[in-house]
Each structure stands twice: as C-alpha cells, then as structure tokens.
C-alpha cells in the first residue's frame, strides 16, 4: 500500500456518509470513498481471530522504537480528545504543573504522590466549601530522565482561586506552578504540546533524537506575554519507555461522542465553527489502483480567522 497526500482536497457530497467526532468546541470529520473492512477481532492482548478463515493468530508486539512512538502518539491523540471534550470553557479549569526538586524517575512514586495530593486537595476544597472537580493528569518526561506531572482540574463553574503557596503546602514536596488558560482556544493541543514537543536546545542535548528539523512557534507564557521559540515536533515521544501510561483521569471525565451521519448532518451540527485544518490522502495498492481516498477536517468553535493566537510557521529549519 502507498499513502499520498493530495495537493487539492476532495470534499464529500452532502449525502456522503462521514464520521463526526464531537469534542466540546472541537469537531473532527472523516469521509472515505470506501469503508475498510476489519479483518480481525481482538480476543485478548496476545491473540486475535481472523474473520475470513476463523483462525486464531498471535499478535506481534512492538519491539522497535518506531512502534513505541506510534503507540505514544496514539495516547497523545486520545489525551487531546478527552481534554477538549471536557474543557469547553478555560475559566472553569486550572492548569497545574507538579515538579520535583530531585531527578525523580520512578513512575510509581509519582502516581502515588499524586494520589495523596488529590485526596488532600479534595478535602481542602470540601472543608472550605469550594466546588468539587474532575481531573486529567499527564506525565512529561524530560531530557535528563526526570518526570513531572501536568494536571487539569475541571470544575462545573468558574474555577476557584487557590493560592500557589497553599497548593504547594497541600502537595507537601516539590514545586507547584499554576498557568492561566484564558488565551488558549484548543486546550488539548496546548497540553499535548508539552508532552510531545521539545525546545531545540533540549533536543540537541540528547543523542540519537532523530531530529530532522525544527519550527519557530509563537506561544503565550504564564504572564500573558507572547514569545517565540524553536521546537522540534514530537521529539519528546522518544523519551517515554515502552508500555508507559501517559495519562490518567477521574471517573467523571466524558469521552468524545462519535456519530455516523451524512456530511450535511455533520455540517449542521458543526454550525459556525471555523475550519482550522484539512487534508486528503489517497491510498493505492501495489498495482497503482486507488484503494481509498480519505478526507480529514478539523473545526474549532473558539477559533476566529483573524484572531491572534499561537500558530506555527510553515517553514521548517534543519538541525545543525
């Protein structure tokens, strides 16, 4: 099979079947000229059933680094979808980073520390008659091997004010930093950038990062000021070990809603959301025959075409 990105997008007709994924203010639409058939059914983590023959086969588990990169990238995609589904108003969320003074590399210790912190924080809010929350916590791996957590607290109403010092006292060790989300119109992408991308200087300090180039991006820091920086997209993915659990969530976190409908029905539900990304790929077999044509579209209700927001340039620069 050969996958090729087309220069011109092929748009579906109004009555064409599409898959619509609703994630709060974010919508993804996927249309295909051919519905792929699923040839297997998963039985457990090691075996699957081949539907055409009825034969049970064993899975080939990932051994290569590139296979693990694909798995981590899928986890990041899942994380973005959960975040965008549950954070529709940034004023109702707090974005908190939990770090350690020492070079802490034990994931079990990190999650155990977070569990205790979460219990103490819930008690503090309840005792002070502040609203409860749901949470999504994700782990970032740094070049030196240390780990720290990025935490989203999601409230039903406007997020309460919690002094940074009080939050640090509740945690009991390490450092705590709260960042504002008021200028962020895609919180899922904002968080996953922390977990997947690396600044150029950090990337170059690691041997064999696979760095092929970097991009200049504009971001907004904790003080609300814009700054530019050079980042390598996806470079941090190589730092996560095989089988690493990238994020956890509380029970009240909702998954995205997936619908099978016509393109017209999808556009009616999307409404006034702006198109922010689109691509069309063509899949051909070994004989050059077209197997499928897939169109992907991404819409954002919070994004305005003339809005000044963090964007990436289209020009990559090679690493030296």
What is the 8-class DSSP label of residue 257?
E
Instruction: Work out the pLDDT band at 315, boundaries 50, 70, 90.
Output: very low
Burial class of residue 49 in the structure, from the number of CB atoms within 10 Å of its CB (0-12 exposed, 13-18 middle, 19+ buried): middle
What does the pLDDT average to over 101-109? Answer: 85
Question: In this structure, how many other beta carbons lie within 10 angstroms of the beta carbon of residue 157?
Answer: 9
Distance CA 265, CA 256 (A): 18
Exposure pattern of 274-295 as b/e (b: 16+ CB <10 Å)? eebeeebebbeeeeeeeebbbb
The model's pTM is 0.79
Segment 2-23, tens digit of pLDDT: 889 999 998 899 999 999 999 9
Would you state the pLDDT for residue 318? 37
Average pLDDT over the chain, rounded to whole? 81
The answer for residues whose C-beta is within 8 angstroms of residue 218's C-beta and 6 or more apart is 226, 227, 228, 310, 311
What does the pLDDT average to over 271-294? Answer: 90
Least confident among 15-29, 143-157, 223-237, 279-293:
223-237
Would you state the pLDDT for residue 305? 56
Q: Give percent of the chain above pLDDT 70.
A: 77
In the Cβ-directed half-sphere of 25, how many Cα atoms lie within 13 Å?
Answer: 18
Distance CA 39, CA 161 (A): 52
The answer to whether residue 30 scores a pLDDT higher than 90 is: yes
Distance CA 73, CA 244 (A): 12
Would you state the pLDDT for residue 275? 96
SS3 for 291?
A: strand
């Amino acid at each position: 099979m050969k996958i090729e990105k087309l220069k011109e997008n092929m748009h579906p007709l109004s009555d064409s079947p599409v898959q619509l994924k609703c994630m709060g203010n974010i919508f993804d639409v996927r249309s295909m000229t051919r519905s792929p058939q699923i040839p297997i059914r998963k039985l457990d983590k090691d075996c699957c059933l081949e539907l055409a023959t009825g034969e049970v086969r064993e899975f080939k588990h990932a051994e290569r680094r590139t296979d693990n990169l694909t798995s981590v990238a899928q986890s990041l995609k899942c994380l973005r979808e959960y975040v965008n589904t549950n954070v529709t108003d940034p004023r109702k969320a707090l974005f908190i980073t939990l770090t350690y003074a020492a070079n802490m590399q034990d994931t079990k210790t990190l999650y155990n520390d977070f569990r205790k912190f979460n219990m103490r924080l819930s008690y503090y809010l309840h005792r002070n008659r502040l609203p409860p929350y749901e949470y999504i916590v994700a782990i970032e791996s740094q070049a030196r091997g240390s780990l720290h957590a990025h935490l989203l607290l999601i409230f039903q109403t406007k997020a309460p004010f919690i002094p940074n010092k009080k939050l640090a006292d509740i945690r009991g060790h390490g450092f705590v930093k709260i960042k504002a989300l008021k200028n962020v119109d895609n919180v899922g992408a904002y968080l996953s950038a922390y977990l997947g991308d690396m600044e150029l200087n950090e990337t170059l300090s690691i041997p064999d990062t696979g760095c092929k180039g970097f991009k200049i991006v504009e971001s907004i820091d904790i003080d609300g000021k814009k700054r530019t920086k050079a980042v390598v997209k996806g470079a941090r993915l190589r730092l996560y070990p095989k089988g690493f659990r990238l994020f956890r969530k509380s029970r009240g976190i909702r998954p995205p809603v997936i619908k099978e409908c016509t393109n017209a029905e999808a556009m009616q539900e999307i409404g006034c959301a702006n198109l922010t990304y689109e691509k069309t790929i063509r899949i051909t077999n070994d004989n050059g025959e077209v197997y499928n044509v897939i169109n992907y579209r991404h819409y954002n209700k919070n994004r305005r075409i003339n809005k000044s927001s963090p964007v990436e340039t289209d020009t990559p620069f090679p690493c030296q």
